[in-house]
Amino acid sequence: MALIDDFKGDESWRMFRILSELTEGIDKLADLGHAVSIFGSARLQPDNPHYQKAVEIAQRLAKNNFDVITGGGPGIMEAANKGALDEDVKSVGLNINLPQEQAPNPYQNVSLDYRYFFVRKVMFVKHSMGYVIMPGGFGTLDEFFEALTLMQTEKIFPMPLILFGVEFWQGLIDWLRGTMLANGTISEEDFEFIRLTDDIDEVVSIMVKHREWKEAKRHHEDT
């Protein structure tokens, strides 16, 4: 009986920790402007072309008055925070406690720490008006497919979901079409949520147009 009581006590405290992480994230990010999340591998080094592209994408978005959100770690996350910090915008890192790979990068001017992946993912979805998905691993795919699923099931409003790096991502798109679409497990319309590009100008243009649409929609609702 004592073991059961201890388990219940642990579960109760876990709920308080979850609520605390949600509350802190919502409060600390409440004054973000239009923000774009950039995802990608923690393993890529500064001499990697994808790292360098991530710096440039973040710089260009920041110059167009977008705050930038990343997972706060090394690799692509570091690159994006570095690019954003060069400009007068918020460079946000949503750090996750992991036994390996994840060490906070030094280019964040807004930093939060998370124990729970799902709380962190809520913060990405809640505070982002678009995603840029750079080449990455399982975590990057997780963020991509979660956002895609939420839009497909109409749990969130559609937002730009950009796969940057045609050579890296084209095989995934081909598999989605050749296997999932061919077997009827997804629809052709689902591909309308995804943009595949190597063009930084296109990334910026997509985000600017989406921001204009959101602002026009908000103005219409207010009047």
Encode pLDDT of 93-140 as tens digits.
999 987 765 678 999 999 999 999 999 999 999 999 999 999 999 999
Domain parsing of the chain, residue ranges: 2-222
Which contacts (CB < 8 Å, 24+ apart) does range 106-109 have?
Answer: 107/78, 107/81, 107/82, 108/72, 108/81, 109/85
DSSP code of residue 102: -
Mean pLDDT of 52-73: 98
pLDDT band at 8 (very low <50, low <70, confident <90, very high): low
Global pTM reads 0.92
CATH 3.30.2130.10 assigned to domain 2-222? The reply is no
Q: How far apart are CA 204 and CA 208, in angstroms?
A: 6
Q: How far apart are CA 147 and CA 151, in angstroms?
A: 6
Q: What is the Cβ-side half-sphere exposure of residue 143, based on CA atoms within 13 angstroms?
A: 30
The mean pLDDT value of the chain amounts to 92
Q: What pLDDT is recorded for position 4?
A: 44
- pLDDT tens digits along 147-200: 999 999 999 999 999 999 999 999 999 999 999 999 999 999 999 999 999 999
Instruction: Determine which of 45-49, 79-83, 86-90 has the lowest per-residue pLDDT on average.
Output: 86-90
Q: How many residues does the chain have?
A: 223
Q: What pLDDT is recorded for position 9?
A: 54
Share of residues in the chain with pLDDT > 90 (%): 84
